[in-house]
Structure 1
Amino acid sequence: MLLTLAVASRQRRLSDEERKALLVRMDITFNHLPTLIEASQAWVLNHARPLIDSADIRLTGPARLFGTVQEGALKMLETLRCPVAGYEFEEFIHGIYNAFDERSTLIMLDPFPDERQDRLAEILGGWTQHIYRIGPQVENNGKKYALRIY
């Protein structure tokens, strides 16, 4: 990341103010990692069993987190060895959810939940109990994990 910033600055693709703002964001993010790792480990220890037993897993998130969704899907596929796929939320609501049943799992990255995401979780909640929502504005209750995103 620092190399990219240096190259972008040298090529004048970033202003000095933009570069400084990105450095501040990176510093905040990196300093938050130990807390994030600790909280994630605690969640996994208490809630991972249903993931292991899933027949299939789908991850969704907004367009700006599509890379995170895809990387998460890849890591889960490598670890859990069951069918895993990641979708941008708008793509997912075009019918992919129709393949869900009681053994399916949905993980929703919800940095800013809206009525459509709430409604989808409600509908699919009638088909499977394995719906997890992750984001700064969801409540912590085992299925929903309030995670401050920096």
Structure 2
Amino acid sequence: PIGCASDGVLDINTGIESVGFVTRGFSATVLNLLLIALIIARKQEKASEVEEQHYLAELQRLVAAIPEVIVRTSRFIDRHSETLRSGERFVATGYGALVGVAKEFETKFTETVRVPSSGFELEAYMHGPYLEANARHVMLFIEDTPDARTRALRDYLAPSIGRAFTLTLGDEEDAQTLALN
């Protein structure tokens, strides 16, 4: 295996997956890469000890929030289960760092739900792929803060698609928005 030929191996500490598809690796890899970046930043004196402690506290705060995020997300999914079960095509859009989240959605959703799913950078989606949107599509607009472009596209497409949901780290929540502030 490649691990034997490598100079080093990063154990992401998730153990062996007990399901037929990989589910824990993405978050664990991101967390490990953030911790490695922090170690390097300290070693190269790009981050002070105070900054290091601040970032570690933020990561601990985020990890501590995960159980509540799971509860809130499960409730949102339960409320919209009929729409989600009947969707024939799922599309997620994101911008900036959220492009990776949209692409991970594409992989994991296709892998687990087994229906066509895509993840796009917001601007890229607006330059062509949006033309395929129709009443069988369920869309997920991912944002870290309220974003005028994301919401304009969502509102523009809403009459033409099956359902438009927003996932945000902001505070604004409505029936179609999951706010994970």
Structure-2 residue corresponding to 1:71: 104
Structure-1 residue corresponding to 2:165: 132
Structure-1 residue corresponding to 2:130: 97
Q: Please give the TM-score of this superposition, normalised by the length of structure 1.
A: 0.86
The total of aligned residue pairs comes to: 147
The structure with the larger Rg is 2
Which sections of structure 2, spanning at least 5 residues, go unmatched?
Answer: 1-31
CA contact (8 A) 1:111 1:137 kept: no
Which sections of structure 1, spanning at least 5 residues, go unmatched?
Answer: none
User: Which amino acid is the alignment partner of residue 83 of structure 1?
Assistant: P
CA contact (8 A) 2:98 2:143 kept: no
Mapped partners of 2:98, 2:42: distance in 1: 25
Structure-2 residue corresponding to 1:62: 95
Mapped partners of 1:65, 1:54: distance in 2: 23
The alpha-carbon deviation at position 125 of structure 1 amounts to: 1.0
Deviation readout 1:8-66 (Å, 9 max, x if unpaired):
43354533233122101101101111111111111112213322322211101121212
Mapped partners of 2:155, 2:98: distance in 1: 22
Q: Please give the TM-score of this superposition, normalised by the length of structure 2.
A: 0.72
Structure 2 residue 112 is matched with structure 1 residue 113: no
Mapped partners of 1:137, 1:94: distance in 2: 29
Secondary structure of the equivalent of 2:159? coil
Q: Where do residues 22-101 of structure 1 align in structure 2 (5 Å cutoff)?
A: 22-101=55-134
The alpha-carbon deviation at position 7 of structure 1 amounts to: 4.6
User: Which amino acid is the alignment partner of residue 17 of structure 1?
Assistant: V
The alpha-carbon deviation at position 6 of structure 1 amounts to: 3.3
Secondary structure of the equivalent of 1:67? helix
Mapped partners of 2:123, 2:129: distance in 1: 10
What is the identity percentage for the equivalent residue pairs of Structure 1 and Structure 2?
25
CA contact (8 A) 1:66 1:88 kept: yes
> Greater RCO between the two (CA within 8 Å, min separation 6)?
1
Mapped partners of 1:15, 1:130: distance in 2: 46
RMSD: 1.9
